Amino acid sequence: MKSVWCIILLYLALAMLAISCTETNPEPACTNAEVIGQDCANGWYILKLGNNPAAERGAAKYTGQLQGGFVTTDNLPTNLQQPGLKIKVALEINAAYSPRCLATAVLYTAVKVKNICESSNAR
């Protein structure tokens, strides 16, 4: 009888593990941003994050890890690398790597662009 309970508990534990591993992370909501210009490292661009409409409305949608300020990214599409361009993007923190700059440069949080929601070519 004891071995039957052990098998049942083992089965339940494996079932819970399988269920927890199949959940996907939610996509972050789109945030208003403005391309400021190139960062200290080649290929990195500074974005100024604007207000997040989903967070202001109190929406139940996942708003992401970033709420405002300046960030830097290296995977901004080339057609959006124009200073002053206003875009709407979904971002996530890039914990894998960041630009290598001199100690006197301002360091911004490194992010990855997950999705381009919309852009307005101002120039």
Task: Tell me which CATH code domain 26-120 carries.
Answer: 2.40.50
Q: What is the CA radius of gyration of the chain?
A: 21
Size of the chain in residues: 123
pLDDT at 10 over 80: yes
Tokens of 41: 């490292």
Domain boundaries, the chain: 26-120
Per residue in 65-119, pLDDT (tens digit) is 666 789 999 999 999 999 999 999 988 888 888 888 877 677 888 898 888 888 7
Look up the pTM and report it. 0.68
DSSP string, 39-83: -SSTT-EEEEE---HHHHHT-SS---S--SEEEEES---GGG--T
